[in-house]
Amino acid sequence: MRAVALVGVLAALAVPWVLGPYPVLMLSHALILGLLAMSANLLTGVTGLPTLGQAAYLGVGGYAAATVARAVTPVGVVQLLAAVAAGVAAALLTGTVVARSHGIVAIMVTLAVAELLHEAAVRWTPVTGGTDGLAGIGDVVPFWGLPPLPLDGQVYYYVLAVFALLAAGVAALVRSPVGLVLRGVRDHESRMRAHGYSVFRYRLLAHGAAGGLAGAAGALTVSAQRYFSPADLGFDVSALALLAVVIGGAGSMWGACAGAALLVVLRDQGLLGAHNGLLLGVTCLVAVYALPRGLAGLRWRAGARYPEKGFRC
């Protein structure tokens, strides 16, 4: 596995040197969707709290980062921190309702939250720019003292670096004692209550962490496309994140990222022109019936441990 990981790292680093600007930008968006998919997976696969509204927190983080970029500073670290803080705050605020929900009710509550925030983004024109969005965002500066990043390849490296740091943080969280409690809450909620754990608090914690991760994805969206609009927090974005979890395998973070990359390629390559939605639907059906454990199930068939849940990152 170390050899495979090394090859993957080298391939990721070589991308701007072997591909053109559009594929590089597409892969940047794949990494961003991968973060959003990990956010959804942290709730759906690890905590057992299904969600269809993670794009809402991506939108909150994206607007926070865009506002900071336009009015305060082009430094990416500041934009990221503002986006993460906004995402966590919004997730904790709405999580007081979501964390008490289960099953289809949780899905409907998260969908309602996402639609409300999307409608607010459309109508709150002085802050969000309405349907025109927020334009005029300059090139991101990764850190104080560094030059701006005008090229898509440079922005890709920035997105890749942030993605790697956040993915490592998510992996540490999932493997930590908190992650074990979250999985216990998902599998044996009544038993965890009997042992004295506050199910609501742990669910709210997971919801806040997932909101912060989605907020970071929003900040990277601003850095990659230098523009942000209500379309970036639409229902289709949340659906793609959940679909990436289904294709990759619930509970597997690397599987969610692989599913996100596959979906971005299918969506943006235009293989079927105006019928790309049909291709995404067929892909989902094939994944559900041919790979019930998702792409992570392929690793299990090769001999991975813990085959029953696919929690490994």
3-state secondary structure of 134: strand
Q: How many CB atoms lie within 10 A of CB 298?
A: 14
Residue matched to tokens 């067929």: 282
* Amino acid 312: pLDDT: 40
Name 173's Cβ contacts closer than 8 Å, sequence gap at least 6: 42, 179, 209
* Amino acid 43: pLDDT: 94
* Amino acid 181: pLDDT: 94
What digits encode the pLDDT tens for the residues 72-103?
Answer: 999 999 999 999 999 999 999 999 999 988 88
Residue matched to tokens 């409300």: 116
> Could you give the CA distance from residue 281 to residue 246 in angstroms, rounded to a whole number?
12
> Could you give the CA distance from residue 94 to residue 43 in angstroms, rounded to a whole number?
14
pTM of the model: 0.90
3-state secondary structure of 48: coil
* Amino acid 313: pLDDT: 40
3-state secondary structure of 310: coil
Residue count of the chain? 313
- In angstroms, how far apart are the furthest CA atoms of the chain? 57
* Amino acid 309: pLDDT: 43
Terminal C-alpha separation, the chain: 12
* Amino acid 270: pLDDT: 58
* Amino acid 284: pLDDT: 73
* Amino acid 251: pLDDT: 84
The candidate with the shortest Cα–Cα distance to 253, out of 219, 210, 189, 208, is 210
The candidate with the shortest Cα–Cα distance to 203, out of 101, 108, 83, is 101
> Could you give the CA distance from residue 37 to residue 71 in angstroms, rounded to a whole number?
30
Residue matched to tokens 């079927």: 272
* Amino acid 305: pLDDT: 46
> Could you give the CA distance from residue 45 to residue 39 in angstroms, rounded to a whole number?
10
* Amino acid 10: pLDDT: 83
Q: Which residue ranges in the chain fall short of pLDDT 50?
A: 272, 302-313
Please classify residue 56 by burial: count the beta carbons closer than 10 Å to its beta carbon, then call 0-12 exposed, 13-18 middle and 19+ buried.
buried
* Amino acid 285: pLDDT: 76
